[in-house]
Chains A and B, each alone.
Chain A
Amino acid sequence: MPRMSMIEAIRDAMDVKLGQDDNVVVYGEDVGYFGGVFRCTAGLQKKYGTNRVFDSPINESGIVGTAIGMGAYGIRPCVEIQFADYIYPAYDQIVSEAARIRYRSNKDFTCPITIRTPCGGGIFGGQTHSQSPESLFTHVSGVKTVIPSNPYDAKGLLIASIEDDDPVIFLEPKRLYNGPFDGHHDRPASNWSKHPLGEVPEGHYTVEIGKAKVFAEGDDVTILTYGTMVYVAEAAVKETGINAEIIDLRSLMPLDIDTVVKSVEKTGRCMVLHEATLTSGFGAELAAQVQERCFYHLESPVVRVAGWDTPYPHAQEWDYFPGPARVGKELKAMMEA
């Protein structure tokens, strides 16, 4: 089976869909001729022509607004917002338009668009290249929000997103583009060529939107996480020796609550872990749902570990980032509670 980085897997997903369906178009800032600042669309314009893969003006509400119009026409745009930190000018188009069109028109018009955007930190990007805005989208009825943590899921989920008849926010943890990252920034970086999840089938396959994955089985505590934090959790579990079950949610909206509940009922403890800021983060939703559904199985309070409630700092990146040491410390405290 071919081995791919997450960048190659994402590109391959678009390649597969561009090849299969004439209605798929791909565009965004620097996406066409150059192939994207992270190279996710490299070679696609050459292969499919400027009618299908092209550069857009630096105009995020325009990128999403035109995509909505194209969706209404009946084609399937897969657009890139260069960094999730740049998505805010498009927020009105996403919240007030893309998310509502099916509902408000009683399905007379639909919005089958995919918005890809790199998120998360760990690359010394400072506050404008590091944010994790997922909760701003999970709060919006009518859009789906997915976030893969490895090349296999990235390709399968992106194909599923492009084929989905509703708008999908497809968040790409940029620190995982080239390899899994466990938060030990001072150690040599690993890459996907040595990781089993870097094995990506050729051609078409999908990973169903709305299905979580049990990333590692365990009995004593459940860690609910996604994106980069999957590997941070893995490192913290290894380093503490705690018998934890790690759930990679993959899809935040819709949420696979059954997998969550099953695990927490088994372990009786739950940690929610994300890189985004703590307050009103997606972890708040997870903690609320776990206590609503699993209260009588819980042996200790649900614990949230997240980025601090500050803008994403530059020089203090590793103080902000909830790395394996912070996660491990919280895990140990939970087990004693």
Chain B
Amino acid sequence: MSEYGPLKFHVPEPPGRPGDAPNFDGIVIPEAGSVRRPDVDCPAADMKELASTMIRVLNTDGEAVGEWAEGLDDDVLLKGLKNMIRVRAYDERMMTLQRQGKTSFYMKCTGEEAIAVGFRAALSKGDMNFPTYRQQGLLLSTDYPMVDMICQILSNSRDPLKGRQLPIMYSSKEHGFFSISGNLGTQFIQAVGWAMASAIKGDTKVAAGWIGDGSTAATDFHASLVNASVYKPPVILNVVNNQWAISSFRGIAGGDHATFAERALGYDIPALRVDGNDFLAVYAASKWAVDRARHGFGPTLIEWVTYRVAPHSTSDDPSQYRPKEESEAWPLGDPILRLKNYLVARKLWSDEQQVQAEAEYNDEIRAATKEAESYGVMGSGASPKDMFDDVYKEMPQHLREQRQKMGV
């Protein structure tokens, strides 16, 4: 007889599946204002607890409290609210476009708008993001033409990427938005490399890597942290923990009992864990990390705690794997509503202005969509001739021959 019982294989399960009541008991939410704000040169070892708690600024009464609430510019907050409204309206309109069959694919960031918009507000011209597919807010917070974004989605004759990329995989060097890959986690390490180059050249620019909770499981996450730890480049490593990676909850990425931010501690990288639905907290934490990077104090990992209200993509149906009411039960609320209520309470904004802003953006998006559609919808604009260009700087003989064979 063995003294051991048979081993059991452990596969983590989320607290709720379809038919269950939503259960967020595992999400511990500290009081707003309860987390200290270290100096930007604070050694990672002296701020470890910030990886396990949650930086929050807006309290349940809609007031901005605590050390992270200090020095936030009202203009940035107002602009942030408008940009978030714009992002959400854009997502809705693009969703419609997909349902109308004018494009093949779309991905919304509903509920996560504060993260990309708030982070972008802390960056300067020349800084570079290496985004995932759910950071449209980074581009929509700049003056990048919305028509160009929609043309990319439609793969039409004005598509800046000539029909070569899946819809929403935008690219704009000028607007600090690196070409999106679609492979998960691969670009996190590239952000580290970009930041290394900035330091090698004695520049002042910073880079930002973006990854989801699920993709922290990818080997390139480790590659990024170890290289960031070794070379201390000016990079912010953003982990957007929206609880779901398609149908896999955060536990399948090993994030059920430890936080994603805590992973940075073993690499001597300072980590912040932030309420990603609190625009003030997002902006304050982003500013801290960008400041730290630009002053030469090295990388920061930020875990943004949020919830993916939207399906993963237009090809996904979350009702198959999570409780239907889960998104309404999400305890950190709606980032747009929370910021709006705060600004209204401070009389910097009003319900009327909110309605007006929504209408203005809807008009803008409708006009941009109309213009973009005039350049063609899916399949009617992109030229097969463009297919063979830019594989290399100069087209090699075999590609010239293949293009001739195709007759274009």
Interface residues of A (CB under 8 A from B): 23, 25, 51-52, 56-57, 59, 61-62, 65-70, 72-75, 77, 89, 92-93, 96-97, 100-110, 141-142, 144, 164-166, 210, 253-255, 257-258
Contact = CB atoms under 8 A, between A and B. Distances in A.
B164 A69 contact: no
Given A89-B219, A105-B179, A255-B398, A62 B189 contact: yes
Nearest to A289: B398
Across the A-B interface, give the 5 residue pairs with the lowest CB-CB distance, nearest first.
Answer: A69-B193, A66-B193, A65-B189, A62-B223, A73-B197
A103 B390 contact: yes
Contact of B160 (A106, A142, A165): A106
A96 B173 CA distance: 19
B173 A108 contact: yes
B393 A166 contact: yes
Interface in B362-408: 390-393, 396-398
Contacts, number: 145
Interface size, B (range): 35 or more
B309 to A, nearest CB: 29
Interface of B: 128, 130, 160-162, 164-165, 169, 171-173, 178-179, 181, 183, 186-187, 189-198, 200-201, 207, 219-220, 222-224, 226-227, 230, 390-393, 396-398
Contacts of A52: 200
Contact of A65 (B169, B193, B197): B193
Contact of B128 (A56, A73, A105): A73
Nearest to A143: B392
Contacts of B183: 92, 96-97
Nearest to A68: B190
A91 B198 CA distance: 25
B161 A51 contact: no
Contacts of A66: 189-190, 192-193, 196, 227
B232 to A, nearest CB: 13
B197 A75 contact: yes
A142 B392 contact: yes
A69 B196 contact: yes
A290 to B, nearest CB: 14
Nearest to A256: B397
A110 B393 contact: yes
B192 A104 contact: no
A65 B192 contact: yes
B200 A25 contact: yes
Interface centre among B189, B192, B224 (most CB of A within 10 A): B189
Given A69-B194, A70-B194, A97 B186 contact: yes
Q: Which one of A56, A104, A253 has the greatest number of beta carbons of chain B within 10 Å? A: A104
Nearest to B172: A108
A165 B396 CA distance: 14
Given A105-B179, A166-B393, A72 B200 contact: no
B45 to A, nearest CB: 20
10 contacts: A61-B189, A62-B192, A66-B190, A66-B227, A74-B197, A104-B169, A105-B173, A106-B390, A142-B392, A166-B392
Contact of B226 (A59, A74, A141): A59
